[in-house]
Structure 1
Amino acid sequence: MKNLTSTLLPSFFAATLLAACGGEKTPETPTPPTPAATTQAAAPAAVMTIEQRGARIFKRCQACHTLEEGGRNKVGPNLWGVYGAQAGAHEAFAYSKAMKAAGITWTEETMDAYLKKPAEYVPGTKMSFIGLKKQEDRDAVQAYMKSKTTPQ
C-alpha cells in the first residue's frame, strides 16, 4: 500500500494542479455589453436664441463698444439708440471724416452692410474690424444689439 500511495498521491496532486490551472475556457471575443447597459439618454442640446448667439458674437465688439444707455465711448462709440440715428452723430465721439460725411441712417439694412465689411461700406472709417462674413452672424448681432440698445 505504501508503494501505491507514494505512486498515486503525487499523480493525484499533479492532475489536480493541472485541472485548477486550466480553468474554464473563455471565448476568444468577449460578448459586447447590452446597449441598455451602456447607453445613456442623451441630454437635449440647449437651444440658443438668436439674441444669445448675438451676445456671444458681440463679445468681439465689446473691446470697442458699449450698449447701455449712458454708456461710455471707448475706441468706438456707445451704441445705445443707434437704430434710426444718423451715422457719425453720437455726441462726444471723434468720428472719422468719412463716417461724418457718409449720410447713413442706421437701419437693419445699412447696419448689415456695415457689419459685413465696414471699410468697404464706409471707406475711411476708423473701425478696424474686418467684418462678419456670415449672414446668420450679422443677423444674430443685430438682434442682440436691438434688444440692448432700443429704448423700451
Structure 2
Amino acid sequence: MAIVVAISVLGACGGSSETSTQNTAETPRATPPVEQVAAAPKTPEELGQKVYARCRTCHTLEDGGRHRVGPNLWGIFGKISGTAEGFAYSKAMKEAAITWDEESIAAYMENPKSYIPGNKMVFIGLRKQEDRDNLIAYLKAETQPK
C-alpha cells in the first residue's frame, strides 16, 4: 500500500505532460579562469622613488631647487660634500671633503652618523642594501641632466 501512495504522490508532482523548454533552476556555470596579468617588474628607479619618499621632506632634487632642512641634491654625483652654495652645512660635513659617488652615497645612507660623525642629518639611515641601491638609481636618474 505504501508503494501505491508513493507512486501516486510522485505522479502528481509531475505536472503536465508538456515538455518545458524553460529551465527554472540555474545550472551553475563554470567560472572562467581569471587571467593573471603579471605586474611589470619595477625598475630600480621606480623602487628608489618610493625610498626617496622618506627624503623629500628635507631634500629637493630639481635643478635650481631650494634647500630645505637638507640641501638640494641636484648634481650630487661628483660634488664635494659640504659645498652646495647657500646651505649651512655642519663643520663635519664641510671638513669631510668626500666626493659623492655611488659608493660614498651608499655608505653615508647606511649610517650617516657613523660615516660622517658630527653631521647634522637626523635620518638614521637605510639598513637594506637593496633600498640604498634603488635610491642611488633614482638619484642618478633625477639629479642629472637628461
Note whether the superposition's TM-score is higher than 0.5: yes
C-alpha deviation, 1:38, in angstroms = 5.0
Q: How does 1:78-93 map to 2 (within 5 A)?
A: 78-93=72-87
**What is the RMSD computed on CA atoms of the aligned residues?**
2.3
Answer yes or no: is 1:16 the counterpart of 2:9.
yes
Q: Which aligned runs of 4 or more in structure 1 are off by greater than 3 angstroms?
A: none
Match of 1:26 in 2: none
C-alpha deviation, 1:78, in angstroms = 0.1
C-alpha deviation, 1:136, in angstroms = 1.1
Higher radius of gyration, 1 or 2: 1
Counterpart-to-counterpart distance in 2, 1:103 and 1:96: 12
Task: Pick from 113, 124, 141 the counterpart of residue 135 of structure 2.
Answer: 141
Match of 2:61 in 1: 67
Counterpart-to-counterpart distance in 2, 1:45 and 1:148: 24
Aligned with 2:79: secondary structure?
coil
Answer yes or no: is 1:109 the counterpart of 2:103.
yes
The code of the aligned residue for 2:79 comes to A
Answer yes or no: is 1:123 the counterpart of 2:117.
yes
Q: What stretches of structure 1 of length at least 5 have no aligned partner?
A: 1-10, 21-32
The code of the aligned residue for 1:16 comes to V
Q: What stretches of structure 2 of length at least 5 have no aligned partner?
A: 14-28
Q: Greater share of helix residues, 1 or 2? A: 1
**How high is the TM-score relative to the length of structure 2?**
0.79
Counterpart-to-counterpart distance in 1, 2:64 and 2:97: 24
Q: State the percentage of identical aligned residues.
A: 51
C-alpha deviation, 1:73, in angstroms = 0.2
The code of the aligned residue for 2:132 comes to R
The code of the aligned residue for 1:102 comes to A
Counterpart-to-counterpart distance in 2, 1:55 and 1:102: 27
Counterpart-to-counterpart distance in 1, 2:82 and 2:139: 18
**How high is the TM-score relative to the length of structure 1?**
0.76
Q: Is 37-46 or 131-140 further displaced after alignment?
A: 37-46
Match of 1:55 in 2: 49
Aligned with 2:109: secondary structure?
helix
